[in-house]
Structure 1
Amino acid sequence: MTTTLADHLRSLPDEALGALLQLRPDLVMPVPADISALAVRAQSRVSVARALDALDQFTLQILDGVRLTRDPGDGTTSVEAVVAAAQGVDATATRAALDRLRARFLVYGPDSALHVVASVDEVCSPYPAGLGRPAAELESRTAALCADPARLRRTLLSAPPAARAVLDRLAEGPPVGTVSAAARTGTDGGESPVRWLVENGLLVPISDGEAALGGPADAVELPREVGLLLRRDCGPLGRLEPTAPAVAAVRRDPKSVDSAGAGQAMEAIRHTEALVEAVAAEPVPMLRSGGLGVRDLRRLSRITGLDERTAALLVEVAYAAGLLGETEVPGAGSRAGVDQQVMPTGGYDLWRMLPLAQRWEQLAASWLAMTRQPGLIGQRDERDRPISVLSAEAERAGAPSARRETLGVLAEQEPGAAPDVDDALRLLAWRAPRRGKGREPAQREALSEAALLGLIGLGALTAYGRLLVAEATAARELADDDPLGLRPGGEQSPNEPSAAVQALDALLPAPVDHVLVQADLTVVVPGPPEPELGAELELVAEPESAGGASVYRVTATSVRRALDAGYAADDLHTLFRRRSRTDVPQALTYLIDDVARKHGGLRAGSAGAYLRSDDEPLLAELLADRRLGLLSLRRLAPTVLATPYQLGRMLDALREAGYAPVPEDATGAAMLTRGRTRRAPARVSAAARMAATLTTPRLTGPRLLGVVEQIRRGDAAARAARRAPVTVRAANGHTATGLTAAQAHTQALAVLQQAVRDRALVWVGYVDAHGAIASRLVRPVSIGGGYLRAEDERTEMLHTFALHRVTAAVLDE
């Protein structure tokens, strides 16, 4: 008698069943009701495809060997047949691959009768091991040729060189090729090798080839027997690769790698801050179709001095880290009356106050977790439209796993080893050929992006990058051996920096709280400035160069900006004396005093707007200044001028002309305030969103045993449940003699009322909402309001039945 998968699962011990659930956790999401439901789910196309995606190339080749060696009669094979098909490979490696398949129940049964789960043939290629169908299924003439091995070999040896090249190509797989109808029939005026092969029965035309290809071409297929004959040297399964390909690597000094990566990490932080500041100065509008325009990306690239590819990557990372966000602004041209702009969020201000290592970690962790592929920006989508920054077309759900897998290969190397990129990609393709198909561009982009962000230095993974990748991997593989978090050291304190941050912090220069002021009014910061010092320099000086030691320059404009923000001349003198490790040059003192002496000499107000000054010659100079003719200034009093324009426009015009006005309020007090900084609503970073979704631990320990016990209990209840009594089946439409429908319904209500009082099990026949008839064994809980409420002990669920739909009820005996 044939053993089904459900019967095979029932015969397993709890440990083996738990191992299956651990390898294929999707089978218990949600937990199946019984073993039969588990078997059905294990054979579904989606679950089988997910299990196959995690297998390496050699295991998939052995699975093809199982499919290829099956008996056409009962569909089974044996371990010995699969081992024999894997020529040139140690039998131990083949049996280990079979064990991996059997552990996931893609293959099940004893060694002498292995079964393949039905959905495997639906998910995999229809040509196992790249071999075509048997000749008997293709054409009778070719079947007769293949039935005579000697004749088949003679025909194969007589093939012209061009025809033999076609056969060798199809023998490697797949066994199907396309050729134009003219070339196959020879009407193109030349001797076609495909025509010779078809005429001699070595290739078989496929009748539906033209319809499948949608054009004037035919498909031909290489029969399995011919393919096996051509593979006589390498074996039926072709060239097998039982071990992972080796990865060549260049050895570098680990300290040099970490130093190079740390320097690039500082550059990534600096460029990100420059980009966000450029967006803060001029918020970027969102396109109606989503994303940023090409002109805006070019503007940001030009302002920051970055190429467009790097600028696009950093904008995406900043958005994923929650430093940038959208906000709505009034827009007359939009349909809803509002437009969306991208601007910094409140999280950006908090990010700037963090130490450099923590700022880098937030960027790198968000890059690892974000479901976007910046390398697609600039390419064309399926509708031939360019993919823009922050657009929905750049979303790729597999991007995080591609980054983790790619960096995982680098993490497996010794510290300081820079692996060859092509070798690393070949290793990734061997480990998961189904999942990695089409991922090579994303994997190459992951390596280049990691180098731009400082995770990779000199082609090798840095020490702190290795720790960050390990933390990201551990976050996805949470074990529940300490579900309450009671184990000492099992949970990191929120205020304690991570290991990656500590490792990077040891490589970065210590933040400095002082500057070196030089005679040419340049201010040298010999290291990364502290957040407070950085905020002061941003206000009182203009940046000239950045890097390990940044340079600023004090100008009249920067001094006036500081005075506008509320600083007095004495405050600026004190600031430079306190921060400078060198003597403050006299030129800087004179500059501050000169600007401060002119600052506030003019007072502007909003009376259209007006100008007030005790310096009458200065007002006369304004009236005579031709650059201010557009303001239409007129004298209201010896010390007051007025203009019909608004205050802001008048202030801008005066400052462009070189004057230093100060606005005042209605009481005459000077209004010294910093410009208002607009921020978008706060956003959660991609790393935080991923951490929030990883709350489900792996199926290990007590949790796994509990799931197995629940499935066993449900299976036992399902097998113990008997068929509904004949009276219930008769009421549901089966042939039986007994009461009329009205009498059966009245009797059913009486039985249900008694069962409620006795808490007894009852077989209930009813008509569901779709008009289908069914029966269920339940324990009634209550009757009222026209409804019966009862508990199904098998599924532990509470069901509600409308009484007018109940057709029969019989106590369980």
Structure 2
Amino acid sequence: MATTFADQLRSLPDEALGALIQLRPDLVVPVPADISALAVRAQSRNSVARCLDGLDEFTLLVLDAARLSRAADTALTSVDAILALTEGVPGEDTRVAIDRLRVRFLLHGPPEALQIVGAVDEVTSPYPAGLGRPADYLDAQAAALCADRAKLRRTVLAAPPGARAVLDRLAAGPPIGALNRDSVAEPVKWLVEQHVLVPVSEAGRAPRPDGDLVELPREVGMLLRRDTGPLGVLRPVAPVPDGPSRDPQAADSAGAGQTMEAVRATEAILEALAVEPAALLRTGGLGVRDLKRLARAAGIDEAGAALLIETAYAAGLLGESEAAPARATTPAQDVFLPTGAYDLWRATGVAHRWAALARSWLTMTRQPGLVGRRDERDRPVNALAPDAERAGAPQARREALGTLADLEPGAAPTVDDLLGLLSWQSPRRARGREAAHRDAYSGAALLGVTGLGALTSYARLLLADGETDGGDPLGVHPEDAHADAVRALDRLLPAPVDHVLVQADLTVVVPGPPEPELAAELDVLAEPESAGGASVFRVTPASMRRALDVGYQAADLHELFRRRSRTPVPQTLTYLIDDAARRHGGLRSGSAGSYLRSDDEALLAEVAGDKRLTTLDLRRIAPTVLVSPRPVARLLGALREAGYAPVAEDAGGATVLTRPKARRAPTRSARAPETTGPVLIGPRLAGVVEQLRRGDIATRAARRAPVTVRAAHGHAVPGLTAVQQHTQAMAVLQQAVRDKARVWVGYVDSHGATLSRLVRPVSLSAGYLRAEDERGESLHTFALHRITAAVTEE
């Protein structure tokens, strides 16, 4: 009969041992040397606490029942004793919870003598189910009162209303209350005098006469819980959230629309940073003014802008870069700019762009909901600041979305109902994470992970693809891990369009998401006015000059609008293009500092006399040439602000066409997804179990090996034992081959570890010993120079 924890683990079949490893994967990270090491790890504080974190409310209360029902002398309990404390619920539910604890080895032993792993008491509350310690442990007079059940009931019934309110509060748990001797309340004083409450010095310490706390004895608490049961209200099944049910297709459509909005707003924020980079604060992060500016540029609130900025940074689309100082004496300052990866991201489809953002949001260790709040030093938390870092944020998002994923498709419960369900599913883990879970739900709504409050179908695929593929024993994904989610979202989004609708008022309507090539053309040709399912742009004289500056000719612009527009090109647009092209290039500039020349002498005279250009210090050096000491760029900028349309030329007089260079921060990779370790299923799980079995056999074999073999390995042995010579070992092996006898062989493996094995030699030749291992039914080969000893089995 198994007598130790390790023996019970050792006696498990491979399927049960594998189930334990699956339920508690931290036990094999790294893989222990043998079952004894596994047993030690399974009883450690960290492993037990991690296991308890994944248990639901009812299972934890059943574990509390096991703690409450332990016998004082043996510290053992039984299934019947636990059932007696949970009589208010079906016995089958309680037995299922007990089995759940036993398969995790938090409870072990036979049903009539269950033992609780010692670390459970160390990592849980000292008051199981919110009940105090027994009266005989706290105070002799309280114990005498509790021993007389009738007197105890009369005392409780005679309690004044204020005292009864105190009792009801302490009976609900925890059973500890504050006691101040200088200003003790009359109800508490009455209860202490009647020995219903016991003064204690500190929770978990022995009582003292001048204690500063009071504790409600366990027997009194159980009496007060006569209506709800000793453990309080028991909920063996999860609460069902009460909320509306949406049509899954409607939820998908609403979520798809929100994904387009999230992608558009992210792009608008990054474009605004490309035009005007935001300075990196000395304490880290983005300033409040810059956040407000970016929120206005994207047309969303500041909380949404903070979320998208944090997500873009986690996806590697946003980074820091050193800005050139305005003056030589000014130190350089870091600024936030889009990275090179942003250009690649922008060239992909909307579904791929959304998947990159959603994947980074799920795995980033940032909590955007903290932005704008105050830290412990009463300072505001800025976007991208170190104060918003939270290591548990990815797990909180997975938990929150996993709760929605477990519901029926289309279920849209309120956030409070979801938080209540999370609190039942894992109360230890949910405690203190309410803010993180609320941020997860609000972020999911903003990014389009949820639609109309329900989890979308493509988001379910995204969450499912985040798990390791169970069909591959190596856990390798040959394709894009989120291709299914991208394809599902693509089917919901409107198809990208390659055409526009040009209106008579020079507005350009794009009836859908534009193709990347069309979007790049519109960035040059028109100014954006509104975004959404149908984007609206406007053609202006400034946008036409910009198009001509980057290399378009008038004929190119006429052809482009004729090819892209599904409506006739209005005559006003044709005139605008021709007028801009006619004026474009009428002035040419060079460096002298810089010069300005034109064949139109009247135009040069107009420029020279323009008072808006006096800062350029223009000076006529020929009827058709003006010069300025200012740089060419400043000369061109001032002329364009004044309404002229100059172009630059090189030393040979050829036109220099320039496109504004987009500034980018150094490309940075997105944060690697947070992993919880390999998923142990299939061949991988079987390999771990086999490794544990082999290590256990090797360890026990080493302990049972003869003294000579252990001495050859340098192990401490009783008495004086001579180490066997190599020739003697070879003689023993040769005789064993002839007699077909079993021998103990000590050897050093390829890793330098000393091992021993009981084998039956088959042959001894060519520098190798070949022998059968009857336990493993396998044939082993030993290099003779690695054999340290050989002893015939006694």
Any conservation in 1 of the 2:599–2:624 contact (CA below 8 Å)? yes
Residues 812, 150 of structure 1: alpha-carbon distance in 2 compared, 3 angstrom cutoff = farther
The offset of 1:737, in angstroms, is 9.0
User: 1:148-159 alignment to 2 at 5 Å?
Assistant: 148-159=148-159
Any conservation in 2 of the 1:714–1:794 contact (CA below 8 Å)? no
The offset of 1:57, in angstroms, is 0.4
The offset of 1:398, in angstroms, is 2.3
The question of 1:542 aligning with 2:527 is answered yes
The residue matched to 2:290 in structure 1 has which SS? helix
Q: Percent identity?
A: 62
Match of 2:100?
Answer: 100
Aligned residue among 710, 714, 737 for 2:691: 710
In structure 2, distance between residues paired with 1:502 and 1:811: 65
The residue matched to 1:41 in structure 2 has which SS? helix
Any conservation in 1 of the 2:200–2:211 contact (CA below 8 Å)? no
The offset of 1:235, in angstroms, is 2.1
The offset of 1:268, in angstroms, is 1.1
Task: Please list the CA deviations of residues 222-241 of structure 1 after superposition, one character each: whole Å capped at 9, or x if unmatched.
Answer: 11111122122322212111
Any conservation in 1 of the 2:126–2:204 contact (CA below 8 Å)? no
Any conservation in 1 of the 2:473–2:683 contact (CA below 8 Å)? no
The question of 1:109 aligning with 2:88 is answered no
User: 1:719-730 alignment to 2 at 5 Å?
Assistant: 719-722=700-703
Any conservation in 2 of the 1:24–1:51 contact (CA below 8 Å)? yes
Structure 1, unmatched stretches of 5+, are 187-191, 486-490, 739-743, 761-776, 783-788, 796-809
User: 1:202-221 alignment to 2 at 5 Å?
Assistant: 202-208=196-202, 218-221=212-215
Match of 2:231?
Answer: 237
Residues 237, 661 of structure 1: alpha-carbon distance in 2 compared, 3 angstrom cutoff = same
In structure 2, distance between residues paired with 1:9 and 1:493: 40
Any conservation in 1 of the 2:468–2:475 contact (CA below 8 Å)? no
Match of 1:420?
Answer: 414
Any conservation in 2 of the 1:291–1:388 contact (CA below 8 Å)? yes
Query: May I ask how many residue pairs the two structures share in their alignment?
Result: 746
Match of 1:324?
Answer: 318
The offset of 1:433, in angstroms, is 0.5
Q: What residue identity is the alignment partner of 2:256? A: A
User: 1:295-694 alignment to 2 at 5 Å?
Assistant: 295-329=289-323, 339-471=333-465, 475-479=466-470, 481-483=472-474, 493-494=479-480, 498-686=483-671, 689-690=672-673, 693=675
In structure 2, distance between residues paired with 1:248 and 1:722: 61
The residue matched to 1:174 in structure 2 has which SS? coil
Q: What residue identity is the alignment partner of 1:479? A: G
Residues 381, 268 of structure 1: alpha-carbon distance in 2 compared, 3 angstrom cutoff = same
Match of 2:252?
Answer: 258
The offset of 1:757, in angstroms, is 9.8
- Which stretch of the first structure deviates more once superposed, 117-126 or 264-273? 264-273
The residue matched to 2:199 in structure 1 has which SS? strand
The residue matched to 1:584 in structure 2 has which SS? coil
Any conservation in 2 of the 1:481–1:700 contact (CA below 8 Å)? no
In structure 2, distance between residues paired with 1:335 and 1:753: 80
In structure 2, distance between residues paired with 1:712 and 1:492: 33
Task: Please list the CA deviations of residues 693-723 of structure 1 after superposition, one character each: whole Å capped at 9, or x if unmatched.
Answer: 57x6422222222211221222222223249
Any conservation in 1 of the 2:131–2:218 contact (CA below 8 Å)? yes
In structure 2, distance between residues paired with 1:90 and 1:294: 57
Any conservation in 1 of the 2:502–2:565 contact (CA below 8 Å)? yes
The offset of 1:446, in angstroms, is 1.7
Residues 565, 27 of structure 1: alpha-carbon distance in 2 compared, 3 angstrom cutoff = same
Task: Please list the CA deviations of residues 363-409 of structure 1 after superposition, one character each: whole Å capped at 9, or x if unmatched.
Answer: 22222222221111112223333221112222222222222222233
Residues 141, 608 of structure 1: alpha-carbon distance in 2 compared, 3 angstrom cutoff = same
Residues 781, 119 of structure 1: alpha-carbon distance in 2 compared, 3 angstrom cutoff = closer
Residues 533, 554 of structure 1: alpha-carbon distance in 2 compared, 3 angstrom cutoff = same
Residues 468, 590 of structure 1: alpha-carbon distance in 2 compared, 3 angstrom cutoff = same
Match of 1:774?
Answer: none
Task: Please list the CA deviations of residues 420-467 of structure 1 after superposition, one character each: whole Å capped at 9, or x if unmatched.
Answer: 332222111101111111222222222222111122222222232333
Any conservation in 2 of the 1:752–1:780 contact (CA below 8 Å)? no
Any conservation in 1 of the 2:747–2:789 contact (CA below 8 Å)? no
Aligned residue among 753, 757, 761 for 1:791: 753
The offset of 1:276, in angstroms, is 0.7
In structure 2, distance between residues paired with 1:675 and 1:759: 87
Task: Please list the CA deviations of residues 300-339 of structure 1 after superposition, one character each: whole Å capped at 9, or x if unmatched.
Answer: 1233332111110111111222221223345699999754
Residues 623, 387 of structure 1: alpha-carbon distance in 2 compared, 3 angstrom cutoff = same
The offset of 1:350, in angstroms, is 1.6
The offset of 1:596, in angstroms, is 1.3
Task: Please list the CA deviations of residues 119-171 of structure 1 after superposition, one character each: whole Å capped at 9, or x if unmatched.
Answer: 00000111111111111221222222222222222221211111011111111
In structure 2, distance between residues paired with 1:40 and 1:59: 24
Any conservation in 2 of the 1:179–1:219 contact (CA below 8 Å)? yes
Any conservation in 1 of the 2:701–2:756 contact (CA below 8 Å)? no
The residue matched to 2:183 in structure 1 has which SS? helix
Q: What residue identity is the alignment partner of 2:356? A: Q
Structure 2, unmatched stretches of 5+, are 734-744, 758-787
Residues 211, 591 of structure 1: alpha-carbon distance in 2 compared, 3 angstrom cutoff = farther
In structure 2, distance between residues paired with 1:72 and 1:414: 47
In structure 2, distance between residues paired with 1:736 and 1:357: 73
Any conservation in 1 of the 2:285–2:386 contact (CA below 8 Å)? yes
In structure 2, distance between residues paired with 1:164 and 1:407: 43
Match of 1:764?
Answer: none
The residue matched to 1:288 in structure 2 has which SS? coil
Match of 1:799?
Answer: none
Any conservation in 1 of the 2:197–2:217 contact (CA below 8 Å)? yes
The offset of 1:683, in angstroms, is 3.0
Match of 1:801?
Answer: none
Residues 607, 332 of structure 1: alpha-carbon distance in 2 compared, 3 angstrom cutoff = closer
- Which stretch of the first structure deviates more once superposed, 75-84 or 712-721? 712-721
Residues 199, 240 of structure 1: alpha-carbon distance in 2 compared, 3 angstrom cutoff = same
The offset of 1:728, in angstroms, is 10
Any conservation in 2 of the 1:478–1:697 contact (CA below 8 Å)? no
User: What's the TM-score once normalised by structure 1's chain length?
Assistant: 0.85
The offset of 1:412, in angstroms, is 3.2
The residue matched to 2:428 in structure 1 has which SS? coil
Residues 619, 551 of structure 1: alpha-carbon distance in 2 compared, 3 angstrom cutoff = same
- Which stretch of the first structure deviates more once superposed, 547-556 or 146-155? 146-155
Match of 1:248?
Answer: 242
Q: What residue identity is the alignment partner of 2:608? A: L
User: 1:721-760 alignment to 2 at 5 Å?
Assistant: 721-722=702-703
User: What's the TM-score once normalised by structure 2's chain length?
Assistant: 0.87
In structure 2, distance between residues paired with 1:223 and 1:493: 61
Q: What residue identity is the alignment partner of 2:691? A: Q
Any conservation in 2 of the 1:778–1:790 contact (CA below 8 Å)? no
The offset of 1:5, in angstroms, is 0.7
The offset of 1:780, in angstroms, is 5.7
Match of 1:767?
Answer: none
The offset of 1:360, in angstroms, is 1.9
